[in-house]
Structure 1
C-alpha cells in the first residue's frame, strides 16, 4: 500500500514537471513571435529614419491609385507611377515596400533633382487570386510624410 501511494505521488510530481517544461516552451515561442513582430516594427522605423536622414524635399504623384480593371487569372500586369520632385533638394527613394509578395516593385534609384521626374513601378502577379483585389506599397523617401502609400486594384477573372 505504501508503495502504491509513493508511486502515485511520484507520478503526479513527474506530470507537474512535464507540464512546467511545456509552459516554459510556449513562453519561449511567444517571446520569439514577439521579437519577430518587434523587428518588423523596428524595420519600418529604421526605413523612415533612413529616408528622413537626407535633406527633405516635396513631391507630387500623377496618381496614387491605379485600377487595372479586369485581369485574367495568371496574368502579370504593371503600372508606372510618375513622381515629380517639387522641392529644393534632390529626392532620394530609399526603398519601396509592397504589401504582399504578389507585388514586385521597381523605382528610380538615382537621386531625382528638383523639377525632375522619376518612376515607381508596381508589377502584380494575379496567379493566386480571384475577384476584386486591392494592394498597396509604401514608398520611403526623404519627404516629411514618409512613407508615401501608392495602391492599385484589379478584378481577377478566370
Structure 2
C-alpha cells in the first residue's frame, strides 16, 4: 500500500510539472448559428487519457455546471493578447460573457491550465440578456518569451467547458 501511494504521488508530481508546458490547437465550434472559438490545450508529453483522477474531477465539475437548465452564451472575445510585458509583471484581463438564452446562466467554476493564472468570475446567476465577467490574472514571473495560457469555464451550457485564453510576450 505504501509503495503504490509513493508511485501515485510521484506520478501526480510529474504530471503537474509537465502541465504548464502546453501546445495549443485552435478549433472552431458552431453553436446555434454563432461561431465560438476554443483553444484546445493538451499537456506536451502527456496522454490525454492517462489521468483518470483528472478526468473524474473534470467530469464532476461538468456535472455540477450542468445541473441547472441549460442556456446559451456569447463571449465578447475568447482570446486576448497582452502584447509585450516585463518579466515579473502581474496582469489581468476581463472577459465579458452574455447570457443569450432564456434561463439564468450559472458559472460554477473557472479552471486555469496552470498555477500562474488566477481566475475570478461572476458568482451570482446571470439573467437572460445580462452580462457577467470572468477575470484571468497572470503572473509572468516564471516565464520568458511568448506564452499562451487558457482556462476552462464550467457553466450550464450545452458545450461546456468554454475555453478562454490569452497570449503575452515576456521581455526582461
TM over 0.5: yes
SS of residue in 2 equivalent to 1:133: strand
Partner of 2:89: 75
**Aligned pairs, number:** 134
Partner of 1:115: 129
1:106 pairs, out of 115, 120, 144, with 120
- The CA distance in 2 between the partners of 1:99 and 1:49, in whole Å, is 19
1:58 pairs, out of 57, 68, 72, with 72
1:129 pairs, out of 139, 143, 147, with 143
Q: Which has the higher strand share?
A: 2
1:53 to partner: Cα distance: 1.0
TM-score, structure 2 length as denominator?
0.73
Structure 1: runs of 5+ lacking an equivalent:
1-23
TM-score, structure 1 length as denominator?
0.79
CA-atom RMSD in angstroms: 1.9
Structure 2: runs of 5+ lacking an equivalent:
16-50
Structure 1 position 43 matched with structure 2 position 57: yes
